[in-house]
Amino acid sequence: MVAVNETSRPVRYDVRGLAEPDAEAPKTARIDGDSAVIDAADLSPRLINLELRRLVYGEDIRNVTITNPGAKHSVAVGLLARCRITIDGSLGYFACTLGDGPEIHVTGRVGWSLGENMMSGVVVVDKNAGSLTGAALRGGDLVIRGHVGARTGIDQKGGTILVGGNTGSMTGFMMQRGRQIICGDAGPGLGDSMYDGSIYVAGKVASLGVDCVEEEMGPEDHELLDRKFRIYRMDKPDTFRKFVCGKQLYNYDTLEPSERKLVL
């Protein structure tokens, strides 16, 4: 995949668009049958991801544990296969993003933009998460047992975000589809400018955002909540309220002065 051009100083580039086409997996993982352990203490995020790819795609190992992740950024990114990854510790920004299929369990906490643009799969975080959790999420389940920061599920286009604790301001900002289930309190501006989808909140809501309204809970909502809480063995609070888009921003309801003249 590495090409060499015809000038006297060869420039190497990679058709996959990698910044370091020559980077190779460190091959330091301990493989035991169909599972493996990567010690990430001395590895850069790039090397961790290369090693992870080597195991999942190259060696067909579907059970990988990463130890000593040290809150590094962009770990377990872009995995497009069914596999089970356990992160034994905490991760930094962009953890478990762009995935399609993996089931990832993080025993510590994560930074900003957890599971951004995930297509399918499951990510479970035992502790807290930063802001922008599940940004542009397309599918799958994102479960955070602790608290999350601001702008949870911004631009969410599908999937489910389940939060055991509180969320910060502008939760569900510009959300377009999918579901958010928040067991604790939600910060100001909940569901601001959301297009569609539903947000369930069990605790207090500081304030609703523009064009976000409360709706009656139906039997299908209770069925969904019961199912999700059963899957992840979490206690379901019985005070859930449902918030959806008021759809007042779908069309203009005021006319420009020049348009008004035309109408009259």
Partner 1 sequence: MCGIAGIIHLDGPGDVGREMTKMLQSMKHRGPDSAGYALYGEPKDHLVMRFKLADPNDTSDFDFSERLERSRREVESRLSKIGASVDRVDGESAYAYRAEFRYEGELKPLADYVENIPGCEVLSLGHSLEIVKDLGDANTVAGQYKLDAFRGTHAIGHVRMATESDVDIAGAHPYWAYPFSDVAVVHNGQLTNYHQWRRRLERSGHRFQSECDSEIIAVYLAERLADGLSLETAMKQSLEDLDGVFTYLVVTEDSLGMAKDEMAAKPLVLHQADNLVALASEESAIRAVLPQEIDSYDPYEKEVLVWSR
Footprint of partner 1 (CB under 8 A)? 70-73, 89-90, 92-93, 108-109, 111-112, 127-128, 130-131, 146-147, 149-151, 166, 168-170, 187-188
Cβ proximity of 190 and 199 under 8 Å: yes
Of 121, 26, 118, nearest to 133 by C-alpha is: 118
Cβ at position 68, least distance to partner 1 in Å: 9
Task: Name the DSSP letter for residue 192.
Answer: T
Q: Which is nearer to partner 1, 127 or 241 (CB)?
A: 127
**Cα 65 from Cα 169, distance rounded (Å):** 34
**Cα 215 from Cα 201, distance rounded (Å):** 12
Cβ proximity of 25 and 49 under 8 Å: no
Token reading at 36? 């493996």
Cβ at position 69, least distance to partner 1 in Å: 10
Q: Which is nearer to partner 1, 94 or 200 (CB)?
A: 94
Q: Which is nearer to partner 1, 134 or 187 (CB)?
A: 187
Q: Which is nearer to partner 1, 93 or 243 (CB)?
A: 93
Cβ at position 47, least distance to partner 1 in Å: 16
| Count of positions (residues) in the chain | 264
Cβ at position 81, least distance to partner 1 in Å: 28
